[in-house]
Amino acid sequence: MTGTENNTIRENLEQREIDYLSEFATKSRFSKGRKIQEEECPIRTRFQRDRDRILHSKAFRRLKHKTQVFLSPFDDHFRTRLTHTLEVSQIGRTIARALNLNEDLVEAIALGHDLGHTPFGHCGEGVLNELVKGGFHHNIQSVRVVEILEKLNLCQETIDGILTHTWGYTPKTPEAQIVQLADKIAYINHDIEDSIRAGIIVENDLPKDCINYFSSIQSKRLNIMINEIIKNSLDKPNVSMSDEAWGYTTELRKWMFENVYNDSPAKLEESKARNVIQELYFLYCEKLKNICEENRIERIVTDYISGMTDRYAIEKYKEHFIPTGFHTSTKDDYLYKLANMIE
């Protein structure tokens, strides 16, 4: 019997990573580990285990009712924070597979990157950022979700990728670099499609030089962006687009901010959403005054509100601020009275 036959499935998977992945890939066997040591799974690698823990978390399930761009959409085809997350994961895994990097780590980071996002998308994030001392940032809250609120005890590499998926951060692994890029190209492309569906823009509105470079057809545009990353990153320690492709991507992103994200019919309901977050924040801070220490109130309320779905936040607002009629228990006496009266 060979040594391989004596190994666990996990050990064989770890060895396969070492044997076949790129020299630049992050190998699960050499992970920096978890804050709390625990017995290894005999079947899954550390990064596969991280992915599964995120997938089964409560915060992940709540993403299905959190806004991407369009607040609480009734149209079933608009993206939510969950479908955005799945698209980032798909794009990230495609790139990782092509570059021979660690697909499991990319998937874990992608699935966890938005767990700390607020209800009502970036509108909700902006309100909390104004109210909370020191500000509020969804990537930092995502780390808090996995480390403290749900105690998932993830590997350091997964946590780093979740933290650094937004601009202004430098990822420590090429897999985290993939997710940082996949997040941007995912939301640029699917938000264009949703905005066209909503009638806010049409394809011809998009910047002509960007369309000439990428295509006006979403699938082609997305495919070109992904291929630009792959071609520019093969057999290199860092993952990036070519300067030319990144320039057009940045221009398209800027155009979306100017024409959709900051000032468009998609934003018409944001003043109401802001009011919901503000009023709930002040309400809960007041409720906790006589229950816990003052220095803990802001943190507790922030965790509670940021974890809400759009519809839950709306329901809590209705419960506390919208009057309802006086309710009494009703009986079916009149039904029986009618039964006796009508022949």
* DSSP secondary structure letters along 51-98: HHHHHTSHHHHHGGGSBSSSSS-SSTTS-BHHHHHHHHHHHHHHHHHH
Comparing CA positions, the residue from 70, 72, 86, 71 lying closest to residue 186 is: 86
Global pTM reads 0.93
DSSP state of 117: P
Q: Among positive and negative, which fits the CA dihedral 132, 133, 139, 142?
A: negative
pLDDT band at 334 (very low <50, low <70, confident <90, very high): low
* Burial (CB count <10 Å: 0-12, 13-18, 19+), residue 260: buried
| pLDDT, average across residues 155-159 | 98
pLDDT of residue 115: 98
Q: How far apart are CA 343 and CA 338, in angstroms?
A: 9
Q: What is the pLDDT of residues 236-260, one digit of tens each?
A: 999 999 999 999 999 999 999 999 9
Q: Facing residues of 38 across strands?
A: none
pLDDT band at 330 (very low <50, low <70, confident <90, very high): low
pLDDT of residue 341: 72
pLDDT band at 328 (very low <50, low <70, confident <90, very high): low
pLDDT band at 71 (very low <50, low <70, confident <90, very high): confident
pLDDT band at 342 (very low <50, low <70, confident <90, very high): low
Is the pLDDT assigned to residue 1 strictly greater than 90?
no
Identify the weakest region by mean pLDDT among 30-39, 64-73, 92-101, 269-278.
64-73
What is the number of alpha carbons within 13 Å of residue 195 lying toward its C-beta?
28
Is the pLDDT assigned to residue 191 strictly greater than 50?
yes
What are 219's two structure tokens? 């699938």
pLDDT of residue 2: 44
Is the pLDDT assigned to residue 113 strictly greater than 90?
yes
Q: What is the pLDDT of residues 198-249, one digit of tens each?
A: 899 999 999 999 999 999 899 999 999 999 999 999 999 999 999 999 999 9
Q: How far apart are CA 43 and CA 73, in angstroms?
A: 40
**Range 3-270 has CATH code 1.10.3210.10:** yes
pLDDT band at 70 (very low <50, low <70, confident <90, very high): confident
pLDDT band at 269 (very low <50, low <70, confident <90, very high): confident
Q: How far apart are CA 110 and CA 90, in angstroms?
A: 9
pLDDT of residue 320: 95
